[in-house]
Structure 1
């Protein structure tokens, strides 16, 4: 007979083998930690809003506007961290030329903007309106102008830190600037800059020290501003006319007296210093046609019923997203409705509440609730890949939110309720057996909800519940 010691060793080996065979080895951080489950919840109360992003940092603040960034929590459950930026600009303001170490996707929430940027080594300009989406790749020089007359400009943007230098949230390299912010030109030795620009130290010093209003500045409603607002062809013709008129004026002055010389800041010399030989090059200077923007409100929703609608933008219907690697979505829920519980199998989802109030619930892999939090306008939330979740609009009004996903491919969410749910697809004896009920009972449960994707959030009336119970008996 085996002695007690031998039996004990045998049991230890057997238990270890069973644990290895099922793939579960208890660790301190394991999702199904018994210690945490005994508390009745996976998270303590103070972490019940762990998927709400509340770390906000003001990166730009001037009289003309500001930019705030809400930082991602990161961590091992996030496949691709993302920061969310909020840009607010006053009327007649300019976000000066710069480039970033991060990819951006812009969403125009309110107002109108002109986006200028370098595309295929030429200047490209794009007019953007409410609902427009546009991408700016890391390292691309761009500027933003609030073109809405008497209206503030509000932009929400995704910031991809995967290419970031790691200095902070992200890093701006300002092309324009002066005393504040400094232009990148200021970092070179003056003699190097003078030689590179073929200019004098006087003009160089004047340009690199004058601007001290910050990264977002007001632009005067002057002749020059009106000139910039002209269409490209009209602008070129107007510019050429100004040069020709100034040339005639200078010639008249020289005929009147040999001592008189045109001022150093004549139109001809000023424009020649900026553009080179204006008379020979102005007809050749032109902007290139950039990729179109995509408006989330103008197109037909991917899904719509009486409880709301949704739009999902990926690289298949907007090719510029291929290079950024992110997707965009917009959801509108009517009062008292919900986005059906679902799982994103390919991407982490970040959302920003545009207006309204509601709730968001997120579930852990062990089937316990990770978060049940109230959300309102301005809140930012994220849901990691694979985590089940749903959003619910309050009864007081609709809930609308825009967001970004960490994949530019079709996400194909898997719904856990409704007419197009996984349960409908899996319906059969295997599914019923997994719940320990008859197939008939399972069918009644799954098919009771005939709506799909966006559902009414109200529970069935008590009489309906009683009727279902009687049928099951």
Structure 2
């Protein structure tokens, strides 16, 4: 999957600790959990549920409940016209008996997320109604020098991106955990990420990386971050998850808590909090 340097930065631990963490478990896909009958948590309760209850629970986790929307009016708006509108062009054409909607200037929007290492903006149908017709969402991300958009998964949409400024790297992993792509990108490059494929974007050490793009859903995307303070790694902590990696639950908690940032993570050489000394297994 992700290379050890990327995981080291994402987890805020050393590459040696990442290597040990990933190679500690030598068993197959089914592992034994010592004294598992003494532990009761959300996941053991989940396993005991009926199939329809499991499905409803998973939908709540990833916010995939279908939203009821009225039938949309047929429209002949093209992607070119939509782009012109979004980018605040004045020469958007008028259809017969229809006038183009008001433009939306993405640059004037406040970031939806911002920290010392970058910011991101997203626009969906609740922000700009023409997106309901196109079926697309829009985003703009700026990563400071050496920073990383934490490894995450889009559960709802395919993502297309265009590098506007700077250089960096895009890493994409297959759902089975093997590496799909690890490519350098620069201004003008285009990339796309299939739905459910874990990926991350990393700015080079030479300067910031800025990219703009579309998703194939006009609804709020709710990306699932795998690492960081608000990640799935935090939600899955427990004896089962620790056993999957062949480490103690205490050790797992220390690793999970080593990264104090979320969404956009600092580089390993930045002025972020010092890497935690995880100690022995």
Instruction: Report the Cα distance in structure 2 between the residues aligned to 1:305 and 1:107, rounded to whole angstroms.
Output: 30
Q: 1:404-451 CA deviation, whole Å, 9 max, x = no partner? A: 001111110000111111111222222222222211111111110010
How far apart are residue 460 of structure 1 and its match? 9.0
Q: What is the number of equivalent residue pairs in this alignment?
A: 204
In the superposition, relative to structure 1, how do residues 113 and 103 fare at CA in structure 2: closer, same or farther (>3 Å)? closer
For 1:20-419, list aligned pairs within 5 A: 102-104=78-80, 105-106=82-83, 113-119=89-95, 121-122=97-98, 124=99, 290-419=100-229
Q: 1:272-300 CA deviation, whole Å, 9 max, x = no partner? A: xxxxxxxxxxxxxxxxxx42222222121
Q: Which has the higher contact order (CA 8 A, sep 6+)?
A: 2
For 1:456-471, list aligned pairs within 5 A: 456-458=266-268, 467-469=277-279
Instruction: Report the Cα distance in structure 2 between the residues aligned to 1:400 and 1:331, rounded to whole angstroms.
Output: 6
How far apart are residue 116 of structure 1 and its match? 3.4
Q: 1:148-169 CA deviation, whole Å, 9 max, x = no partner? A: xxxxxxxxxxxxxxxxxxxxxx
Which TM-score applies when normalising by structure 2?
0.66
How far apart are residue 378 of structure 1 and its match? 0.3
In the superposition, relative to structure 1, how do residues 332 and 437 fare at CA in structure 2: closer, same or farther (>3 Å)? same
Partner of 2:249: 439
How far apart are residue 108 of structure 1 and its match? 8.0
In the superposition, relative to structure 1, how do residues 108 and 378 fare at CA in structure 2: closer, same or farther (>3 Å)? farther
Q: CA RMSD in A?
A: 2.6
How far apart are residue 454 of structure 1 and its match? 0.3
The question of whether the paired residues in 1 share the 8 Å contact of 2:84 and 2:92 is answered with no
Instruction: Report the Cα distance in structure 1 between the residues aligned to 2:106 and 2:153, rounded to whole angstroms.
Output: 23
Instruction: Report the Cα distance in structure 2 between the residues aligned to 1:438 and 1:293, rounded to whole angstroms.
Output: 55
After superposing on structure 2, the runs of 4+ consecutive aligned residues of structure 1 that deviate more than 4 Å are 99-102, 107-110
How far apart are residue 113 of structure 1 and its match? 3.2
| Secondary structure class of the residue paired with 1:443 | helix
Instruction: Report the Cα distance in structure 2 between the residues aligned to 1:451 and 1:382, rounded to whole angstroms.
Output: 26
Instruction: Report the Cα distance in structure 2 between the residues aligned to 1:460 and 1:336, rounded to whole angstroms.
Output: 8
Q: 1:291-316 CA deviation, whole Å, 9 max, x = no partner? A: 22222221211100000000111112
| Secondary structure class of the residue paired with 1:412 | coil
Instruction: Report the Cα distance in structure 2 between the residues aligned to 1:378 and 1:409, rounded to whole angstroms.
Output: 27
| Secondary structure class of the residue paired with 2:107 | coil
Instruction: Report the Cα distance in structure 1 between the residues aligned to 2:245 and 2:278, rounded to whole angstroms.
Output: 18
Q: Which is strand-richer, 1 or 2?
A: 1
How far apart are residue 333 of structure 1 and its match? 0.4
How far apart are residue 366 of structure 1 and its match? 2.0
Q: 1:129-153 CA deviation, whole Å, 9 max, x = no partner? A: xxxxxxxxxxxxxxxxxxxxxxxxx
In the superposition, relative to structure 1, how do residues 401 and 440 fare at CA in structure 2: closer, same or farther (>3 Å)? same
| Secondary structure class of the residue paired with 1:395 | coil
Q: 1:202-236 CA deviation, whole Å, 9 max, x = no partner? A: xxxxxxxxxxxxxxxxxxxxxxxxxxxxxxxxxxx
Partner of 1:199: none
Instruction: Report the Cα distance in structure 2 between the residues aligned to 1:417 and 1:454, rounded to whole angstroms.
Output: 10
- Rg larger in 1 or in 2? 1
How far apart are residue 117 of structure 1 and its match? 2.3
Instruction: Report the Cα distance in structure 1 between the residues aligned to 2:120 and 2:225, rounded to whole angstroms.
Output: 14
Question: Structure 2: any 5+ residue segments left out of the alignment?
Answer: 1-74
In the superposition, relative to structure 1, how do residues 359 and 107 fare at CA in structure 2: closer, same or farther (>3 Å)? farther
Instruction: Report the Cα distance in structure 2 between the residues aligned to 1:402 and 1:355, rounded to whole angstroms.
Output: 10
Partner of 1:453: 263
In the superposition, relative to structure 1, how do residues 309 and 466 fare at CA in structure 2: closer, same or farther (>3 Å)? closer
The question of whether the paired residues in 1 share the 8 Å contact of 2:242 and 2:249 is answered with yes
How far apart are residue 318 of structure 1 and its match? 1.4
